[in-house]
């Protein structure tokens, strides 16, 4: 860790975080959940919210991909996904669904302001972001794609979207 210039868990918990919350809405795969934690740690994201049927730590399948990031990243579970999103909005977060939908904005076109707080909702691997949440979001982000498949795996999507937010907020 020292050679890689990485913080230990206690130092990481104290360091300033990127003002972004990852919101996992009914994500089925424990491996995708673990990957979200590991990516959140890698980019020093504020926290992860686990909603509905999304699995929670401790769980061996989550840990298989998280590699201990469940210990470093703040997380919370909410059974009621709509209420969780309402709370984020009340706390001043701009909430974006990451979804292919009418009116979505390409990721590279999203305006990200210094001093802003953002919550990014990633949906179920089959059904996407819950329709009730879609009614509450400030906007919808889509990653441009050029191949034959209609979507990326949610863990890949999280990495792509977070990098764009981190890049715009930090650099």
Taking only the tens place, the pLDDT of each residue in 108-128 is: 999 998 889 999 999 999 999
C-beta of residue 36 within 8 angstroms of C-beta of residue 155:
yes
pLDDT digits (tens, 9 = 90+) for 41-60: 999 999 999 999 999 999 99
- Output the pLDDT for position 110: 96
Which domains can be identified in the chain, with CATH numbers?
Answer: 9-139+156-170 (3.40.1280.10)
Q: What pLDDT is attached to residue 3?
A: 65
Q: How many CB atoms lie within 10 A of CB 16?
A: 7
- Mean pLDDT throughout 141-167? 96
CB 56, CB 82: distance < 8 Å: no
How would residue 32 be classed by pLDDT, with cut points 50, 70 and 90?
very high
Confidence check: pLDDT of 70 > 90:
yes
pLDDT classification of 1: cutoffs 50, 70, 90: low
- CB-CB contact of 157 with 59 (8 Å): no
The span from the CA of 104 to the CA of 82, in Å, is 20
* Average of per-residue pLDDT across 33-38: 98
Residue 6 has pLDDT above 90, yes or no: no
Q: How confident is the model at residue 150 (pLDDT cuts 50, 70, 90)?
A: confident
Res 5 pLDDT > 80: no
* For residues 18-44, average pLDDT: 98
- Over residues 68-93, the mean pLDDT reads 98
């Amino acid at each position: 860790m020292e050679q890689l210039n990485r913080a230990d868990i206690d130092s990481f918990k104290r360091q300033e975080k990127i003002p972004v919350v990852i919101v996992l809405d009914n994500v089925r795969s424990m491996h995708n959940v673990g990957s979200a934690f590991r990516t959140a740690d890698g980019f020093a994201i504020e926290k992860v919210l686990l909603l509905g049927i999304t699995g929670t730590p401790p769980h061996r399948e989550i840990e298989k991909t998280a590699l201990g990031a469940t210990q470093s990243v703040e997380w919370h579970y909410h059974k009621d996904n709509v209420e969780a999103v309402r709370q984020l909005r009340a706390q001043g977060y701009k909430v974006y669904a990451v979804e292919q939908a009418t009116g979505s904005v390409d990721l590279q076109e999203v305006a990200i302001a210094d001093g802003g707080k953002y919550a990014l909702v990633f949906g179920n691997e089959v059904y996407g972001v819950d329709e009730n949440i879609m009614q509450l979001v400030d906007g919808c982000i889509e990653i441009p794609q050029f191949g034959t498949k209609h979507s990326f795996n949610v863990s890949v999507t999280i990495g792509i979207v977070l990098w764009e937010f981190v890049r715009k907020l930090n650099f």
